[in-house]
Structure 1
Amino acid sequence: MPKQMFYAKQQVSSKLKQRYNNELGAVTMLALLRPVNTGLAEGRATKEILVIGLDLAIQEVPVELVDHIAHLRASGILFVCHRQIVGEDGSEREECALAVRRALPTKPGYQKQYRVYLGPWQPASQTRLEIDGHNMDELWDCLNAQVIFGSSDGADLDDRIARRDEIAGLVAEEAKLSKDHSRAKDAAQRNEIYTQLHKVRTRLREMGALD
């Protein structure tokens, strides 16, 4: 697939065009998943899923380019990002990382927001995808779960993502408050920080993320 097709008919910055040319090698359509070739029923939101291979000219996944390509299609895209790694001994190996752009849960009436999720790098020969679900919506969640959690279980995926994000935020807040508490010299300030710290630790224990 020519890289120009992703920006030729759009008003994009010269910087973004340059990133396409400098950060991407080949862009390849690997598969188009539909009810007819998956044996799954149609989904309410997901009609088809495109699988695109990105041969990278850099060592990290270009998140901005993934986001830009994914927003061009209403249906979901699963990205298989590929890179060549040269070891200290001069040997080369191929690695792949999966990526998806997923809509975040939003309340009715609010504008949709999206986030790009990246899976870990792994040997290309070990990169596999499971096809599971009763319809295309469930398949999309299944593929997203493999990227985000390393599991094909797509059940309650938005809730699981929200829980993971909350835990990550609380862990970061707990670490910051712990440092602030140890540095504080004023007794009143220490007590105030400790109260906040206690609330954060209590919530982490409730979520099973703290012993």
Structure 2
Amino acid sequence: MAVAKCASVSALTLGLPEQTAMPEGKGKLPQQLFYAKVPVSSGLKRRFVNDISEIGVLGIVNSSNMGLPAEGQLKEILVIGVVLNTSEVPVDALEHMAKLRPSGILFVCIRSGNQGDECALAVRRAVPVRAGHMQQNTMFVGQWYKAQDLSLKIRGKSIDEVWESFNSQTILNTPDPENLDERIARSQSLSQLRNLEAKLAKDHARAKNPTQRNEIYAKLHKVRAQLESFNEGL
């Protein structure tokens, strides 16, 4: 079966089952669809006009084509290709698109690289927050891969679990769908600690005043102890 493509990328090149692939000639989504009838800022409109050259549905993952029980909150997952004119992902445009549809959308961002097409996954997801704090959604953008090296794995016994797995592959580079919010929060904390360690190490190297150096070193020692504790828990 001939299938829909965005640049060189299709559901099949991503490793998805053939039954999930959008047929060739279908699935193209004109950029105007996302700003012509929906009020948007001039800046967001420019994103769609200047930063994106093509948008198309590459595939649909649902309970019927995957043989999964029709249960849970999500009925289907759209896999949407977004071909870029820029090297950076237009996060605000993707977020706008994700807000317009209640089902999960896995974005496959595609840009032209020195050795062919490159891809990065992106999803909109609620950010893990502490109890009592207001939940917020944000766009997560994964790392860039050569198009031929990006392969999606389908894991889970329901569409909700498959969605969690796609989120995990985007954010943490692993298909494991279990306890994802906890793992994301842990990854974010670890990243913040590493950034803080790097900053304090530079500050300590630059400091001339002995008292100031000692104060910075004490903070650096505390952060390194926290990092060691994190690593022991992995």
Partner of 2:74: helix, strand, or coil?
coil
State the TM-score, normalized to the length of structure 2: 0.79
Alignment correspondent of 1:201: 224
Alignment equivalent of 2:161, drawn from 120, 138, 151? 138
Structure 2 CA distance for partners of 1:166 and 1:46, relative to 1, 3 Å: same
Give the Cα separation in 1 of the matches to 2:122 and 2:69.
24
Contact 2:109 2:120 in 1 (8 A): yes
Alignment correspondent of 1:4: 32
Give matches, 1:56-95, under 5 Å.
56-85=84-113, 87=114, 93-95=116-118
Please give the per-residue CA displacement for 1:13-57, whole angstroms capped at 9, x wherever unaligned: 112112101111111111222211122234533232111111212
Partner of 1:96: helix, strand, or coil?
strand
Cα offset, 1:208, TM superposition: 1.0
Alignment equivalent of 1:150, drawn from 163, 169, 173? 173
What RMSD, in angstroms, separates the aligned Cα atoms of the two structures? 2.0
Cα offset, 1:204, TM superposition: 0.3
Give the Cα separation in 2 of the matches to 1:125 and 1:178.
39
Alignment correspondent of 2:80: 52
Matched, 1:41 2:66: no
Matched, 1:173 2:164: no
Cα offset, 1:138, TM superposition: 0.9
**What is the identity, as a one-letter code, of the residue corresponding to 1:75?**
S
Give the Cα separation in 1 of the matches to 2:176 and 2:58.
23
State the TM-score, normalized to the length of structure 1: 0.86
Identity, in percent, stands at 47
Structure 2 CA distance for partners of 1:117 and 1:185, relative to 1, 3 Å: same
Structure 2 CA distance for partners of 1:108 and 1:169, relative to 1, 3 Å: closer
> Which ranges in structure 1 are unaligned for 5 or more consecutive residues?
none
Structure 2 CA distance for partners of 1:107 and 1:74, relative to 1, 3 Å: farther
Matched, 1:100 2:128: no
Please give the per-residue CA displacement for 1:86-114, whole angstroms capped at 9, x wherever unaligned: x4xxxx62222221111112356643212
More moved, 182-191 vs 73-82: 182-191
Give the Cα separation in 1 of the matches to 2:211 and 2:126.
43
Matched, 1:31 2:59: yes
Cα offset, 1:194, TM superposition: 2.2
**What is the identity, as a one-letter code, of the residue corresponding to 1:57?**
N
Contact 1:78 1:99 in 2 (8 A): yes
Structure 2 CA distance for partners of 1:47 and 1:109, relative to 1, 3 Å: farther
Contact 1:98 1:147 in 2 (8 A): yes
More moved, 135-144 vs 187-196: 187-196
Give the Cα separation in 2 of the matches to 1:84 and 1:192.
47
Cα offset, 1:151, TM superposition: 1.7
More moved, 165-174 vs 51-60: 51-60
